[in-house]
Chains A and B, each alone.
Chain A
Amino acid sequence: SQTIHQWPATLVQPVGSPLSLECTVEGTSNPNLYWYRQAAGRGLQLLFYSVGIGQISSEVPQNLSASRPQDRQFILSSKKLLLSDSGFYLCAWSKTGIHTEAFFGQGTRLTVV
């Protein structure tokens, strides 16, 4: 069966510090991968998605970047965090194909102080 791992579960970082959130998927190959953010009291916002190694599409210009160094690994990064980067970050994957539901990780709650 397929599983998605996302860590850490919670993170408190000072303003100006770097960020690296990692997500890995097991039990499948060539998944589509996604990073979402949910600010407090807000809906889910798609940040990045990837359809293959090294292929990253950005939905919203911002202080963040994403990379996919391996088929089942997706990394969200920032060189210098802002207060506005606080939120609940979710990684998700879906199969390639026309009828594909997305499976989400448990999320990382990031607080920038």
Chain B
Amino acid sequence: DAKTTQPTSMDCAEGRAANLPCNHSTISGNEYVYWYRQIHSQGPQYIIHGLKNNETNEMASLIITEDRKSSTLILPHATLRDTAVYYCIVRVANSGGSNYKLTFGKGTLLTVNP
């Protein structure tokens, strides 16, 4: 799976949009971008994933650049409860062998301030 690079930490004001970047310059054509978050002392929570088109769900939006070498997770109106470590993961969408596993990096600690 391609390696990802994320900033160590970011701050955001409550009510404002939080934009979390992720670089994955070695991504290959069959690899998807997944985002998870982990609130302190809890298990990670799936947020969203995408291949090349922008995606939106009730939690967030995912913007993937045309060359697919980077992406941005957008929380449109951040709340204090969105304070968490956000993980960007690139993995092959293939149901065989070791492709089932998820490999988490260190992620970005997003702190939403009142």
Contact = CB atoms under 8 A, between A and B. Distances in A.
B101 A44 contact: no
B25 interface: no
B43 A96 contact: no
Interface stretch (A14-22, A61-69, A73-81, A87-95): A87-95
Contacts of B105: 43
Nearest to B35: A101
B101 A106 contact: no
Given A49-B100, A51-B100, A59-B101, A104 B43 contact: yes
B95 A105 contact: no
Contacts of B42: 106-107
B43 A106 contact: yes
Contacts of B100: 32, 49, 51, 94, 96, 100
A27 interface: no
Nearest to A44: B104
Interface of A: 32, 34, 36, 42-46, 49, 51, 57, 59, 88, 90, 92, 94, 96-107, 109
B77 to A, nearest CB: 23
Interface residues of B, number: 24
A102 B102 CA distance: 8
A46 B101 contact: yes
B68 interface: no
Given A49-B101, A94-B100, A104 B45 contact: yes
A90 B34 contact: no
B47 to A, nearest CB: 9
Contacts of B103: 46
Given A99-B93, A106-B43, 18 more contacts: A34-B102, A42-B106, A43-B105, A44-B38, A45-B104, A46-B101, A46-B102, A46-B104, A49-B101, A90-B44, A92-B43, A92-B44, A98-B94, A103-B46, A104-B43, A104-B44, A105-B43, A107-B43
